[in-house]
Structure 1
Amino acid sequence: MAQSLRTPGALGVIAELARHRSGPAARRHEAVRVALLRAVVLSGLGAIAVLAAAGRVIRLLDGDDPREDRAVRALQDALGHRPGDGDAVGATASAQSGEPREMLDVLTAPLSWYSGVPQTIANGAIWCGATWLLTRDRRSAIAPATALALETTCFVASAALVRRPRPDRVWRPEQPHATSSFPSGHTAAAFALHGTLADLLDRHGARGARLLGPILRYGIPGAIAFSRVYRGQHHISDTVAGVALGVWSAGVVRRAMLSS
């Protein structure tokens, strides 16, 4: 074996393999990996730090029962909702009474459901598969999942650092998740995913991109953000932070994966 490696033929093969691994194509792939690392990982750490600091400052300045919740309570009260109506007993009694539901309740319920964790994961997976089938472009196909992964990582880490309680003394028809109220993960995921879908329409010149783009980028996720506040799941500032996180996540993916 040692003798064969000393032959000119074996040395030539080894040298050729080394040149192939360090050729222009390999260097380009390495440059892309480094750029993605810097764009996604390092900027993600910065986003976590900013969100955590903002959440702690908000809690320090306005406490855990902020003045912003007064507007939400006033709107809920004007439409006939009271604190406790959404708990298990209240919800069952309301359903059995057959009372008609007011319009905002009817409109926001499916939006809140649509933005749930299982639905968002399934939505992202479906769009990754559909994008691959339609474009056969690897970067485009993984862009929705990348945006959601980046948003989720920043959300989970910053929420663990902030630990803000959910709004108190509000109507809440669904049980909230055990995570911190700040930032709103449902809002952030909606803006990250739908913003990336709008970017994919622009990248591939899809028909109707000018009409569908704003609806995807702002309309659907904006309605979800409102539903999370109206249904007592979040303070207003939670959703503002969620909007910022989602828009930023989609922007990172757009610059790192879809702009070239």
Structure 2
Amino acid sequence: MEIENVTFKLAVITKTGECMLRIATLIGVTSIVFVSVVPFANAAQISPNPNYGDIYLTWCPWDPDSSCGTAENYLDPFENYGLIVIGEGGQLSNYGAINNYGVIGASYHNSDYSGNGSLNNFGMIYATGSIGDRYLNNFGVAEIHVEGRMNFGTIDNSGTIGSSGILINSGTFTNTGFFENAGYTNFEDNPGLKYIQTDGQTSNYGQIVFSSIEILGGSLSGRGTLVGDVNIGSSATVMPGSSPGTLHIDGDLHSNGNLFLKSQD
């Protein structure tokens, strides 16, 4: 049996330090022809900047010991208007700033985005694998799938974050957008960290763990569990449950806000 007219793209790192798209054509079941593939030695600056195309970072089965599929960013900023997919065994390390207006995704369980820089998201990021950085400023959409993980320092969200996986942060999480948690969200290595909402909405169907959870404005809803002391401000609204249900609080509750209860008919 032959498979015809099937194409896929790989991003590889060349010895000259460029991250380039390579196109391979699958001709038959056992025959693969790679076009202009050059040796790859070490990770290099991801390019071009800005990116309007497709960049795929994935390990190379024909040379599994190389650093094929790895890239780094030292630019401030590197701008992405296209698609960056970190695939199986791929890695993107950020030490500068990435402004994302397109899509960045860790699409496999062992794909990894990490670093000590900042990610400013105006488009979409998603994690089936792992995505983490020192700082996340989210104006767009961030999705964490069931098997995925995001690990950030400080998080400022004025967009949408939806999590069915694990969200870890080692700084303050400030929400003025929409945060829906159906997984597990907590602080790391610092017992004084806070989740602060001054506007927007927190909808929790999983578990949120912080030393202090401050809902000063906007709304809090869901039927999950909040672990930590919860402070409800005078401009905030709490709507426990989901037609109806129970919102669990494992800690002290202080409320100056509005509490709405709905009974089952």
The normalised TM-score by structure 2 is 0.20
Q: Which has the higher contact order (CA 8 A, sep 6+)?
A: 1
Q: 1 or 2, which has the higher helix percentage?
A: 1
Q: 1 or 2, which has the higher strand percentage?
A: 2
